[in-house]
Amino acid sequence: MELISRLLPESLFLPLVQLWRQRHQNALKMFAFLSAMVTHRLMVTLARNPEMRMLHRSGKLAFGCLDTWLIYKLTNGGVHVTEPSSASSTGLFDPYTMNWGYIILWLISFPFSLLPPHTFTAGVPLALCDRRIFGIPLSIGAVAGDQQAALFASGCWRRGDVNICMGTGSFLSLNTGNCPIASMRGLYPLVGWKLPNMQSYVAEGCSHDTALILKWAESIGLFDDITLTSNIAAKTPRTDLCFVPAFGGLQTPINDATACCAFMGLRADTTKDDMLRAILESIAFRMVQIWNTLLKEITFELTQVVRCCGGVSSNDFICQTISTLINRPVQRISEQSFASARGVAMMAGITAGMWKKSDLDDMVQIDKTFTPRIDERSTLIGAFERWEHNLKRCLHYYNK
């Protein structure tokens, strides 16, 4: 962590202000490497591992994203490449210039030679697989980041479209059209996709612990069958019990890696069902918290209908809670657990000429639509506000 703390000395910020426009300044003020990123770990390894340094000096070391590794293997080492939606998740890619962020790279002494070139997400063949793998040289027609592919599969192709994807983590992604958004509250600017005649950017907020808190709840005996949890929560009367889902800290818009996980409001008569309901509510509340952040940051109009996908979106209780609180219909797409795979397959179909972008609307099927329950909204807003107040007690818990 000492390396990261030295990445942007204050003395370097003012010169950079002169170099970058206001939108870059905003992004720079929020600049930080996330623990999930491997970039800073690579820098530490290069500094400490003699074998890595030797590989670098001999030109045998390369860096990339998961897509880079897959394409490299599928082409038998013939192609070292990435694409913008994946590259923009590394913290090293500048979405404003659609190129690697060479100023940041220079500041942290990152070796430029390790970086792969970037190509299109889809729309043109990206590479040919080595014929020895499948028997024929199959064309790779699309590569995309996980959440961007899910956004595409949900039919969120237009500026102002919003998708909520709840799986391992929970993500709220906004299509910002042909311009990235520099947020001061932790919405991360990403490239959505880049096709020859179609380019979109995304503003993303996230909450990391979705699957983990459900697995933990099951492990301590709060439920036996996850498919029954929605009905259990819906039938359980609301109490003052709150749960803060922060095993891995709190992300957008709080961005506190030292926050702690907690139940608040436990009583002698608190039941397992009460605890389960509080946990499911917390997943919805985190998405609403990010939604409210979005409303404060975005100046253009958002869609009146929000899409959702991911395995956890199969929980009706969570989806209904979100719909009522944001006061918008929430449409859960069909085959919601496979949204990312479906999205990149839709892109690959464009590359192969199987369909055009204008054909895609018919491919998005809606499994269920949740509409706001106006009679419950006031009570639910009160519960959400109490939860937000209690959440503050969990901040900076693990600070030295």
Q: Cα–chain-centroid distance for residue 144?
A: 13
Report which of 310, 285, 63 is spatially closest to residue 167, judged by C-alpha positions.
310
| Residues 34-40: contacts with CB under 8 Å, at least 24 apart | 34/91, 35/257, 36/208, 37/89, 37/90, 37/91, 38/90, 39/90, 39/91, 39/92, 39/110, 40/3, 40/4, 40/108
State the pLDDT at residue 2: 37
| 220: three-class secondary structure by DSSP | coil
Give residue 35's pLDDT band: very low, low, confident or very high (50, 70, 90). low
- Looking at the fold, whether 78 and 187 belong to one and the same domain comes out as no
Per the CB < 8 A criterion, the answer to whether 175 and 202 are in contact is yes
The last residue of a domain, from among 97, 123, 142:
142
Both 151 and 101 in a single domain?
no
Q: Are residues 164 and 66 in the same domain?
A: no
Q: Is the pLDDT score of 22 beyond 90?
A: no
Q: What share of the chain is helix, strand, coil (3-state, %, to 5)?
A: 45, 20, 35
Predicted local confidence at residue 109, as pLDDT: 85
Same domain, 240 and 253: yes
Residue 16 has pLDDT above 80, yes or no: no
Min mean pLDDT across 108-112, 198-202, 257-261 is at 108-112
Q: What is the pLDDT of residue 185?
A: 77
Which of the four pLDDT bands, split at 50, 70 and 90, describes residue 24? low
d(CA 369, CA 378): 21
Q: Based on the domain organization, do 157 and 250 belong to the same domain?
A: yes
- 138 and 152 fall within a common domain: no
Mean pLDDT over each residue of the chain, to the nearest integer: 91
Q: CATH number, domain at 16?
A: 3.30.420.40
Residue 11 domain boundaries: 2-142
Q: Do both 170 and 220 map to the same domain? A: yes
Pair 311, 331 in one domain: yes
CB of 263 closer than 8 Å to CB of 213? no
| pLDDT for 42 | 84
pLDDT in tens, 122-137: 999 999 999 999 999 9
- Does 277 have pLDDT greater than 90? yes
201 and 291 both lie in a single domain: yes
| Confidence band for 40, pLDDT divided at 50, 70 and 90 | confident
Helix (H, G, I), strand (E, B) or coil at 100: strand
**In terms of domains, do 192 and 216 share one?**
yes
Q: Convert the pLDDT of each residue in 51-107 to its tens digit.
A: 999 999 999 999 999 999 999 999 999 999 999 999 998 888 999 899 998 988 888
**What pTM did the predictor assign?**
0.89
Q: What is the pLDDT of residue 30?
A: 47
Residue 292 has pLDDT above 60, yes or no: yes
Instruction: Say how many domains are in the chain.
Output: 2
The two three-digit tokens of residue 283, written as one number: 């997943």
Distance CA 359, CA 141 (A): 18
Task: Tell which residue, 276, 274, 287, has the closest CA to residue 321.
Answer: 287
65 and 24 both lie in a single domain: yes
Q: Which of residues 142, 164, 196 is at a domain's end?
A: 142
pLDDT per residue as tens digits for the range 133-158: 999 999 999 999 999 999 999 999 99
**Coil, strand or helix: which one is 113?**
helix
On the question of pLDDT at 310 being above 60, the answer is yes
Cα separation of 13 and 335, whole Å? 46
Of residues 324, 224, 236, 229, the one with CA closest to residue 284: 324
Judge if 197 and 281 occupy the same domain.
yes
Strand pairing of 330-333 and 306-309? parallel
In the DSSP assignment, the letter for residue 135 is S
Contacts of 58-67 with C-beta under 8 Å, sequence gap 24+, read 59/113, 61/114, 62/114, 62/116, 63/114, 63/115, 63/116, 64/115, 64/116, 65/89, 65/90, 67/143
Domain final residue, candidates 118, 142, 166: 142
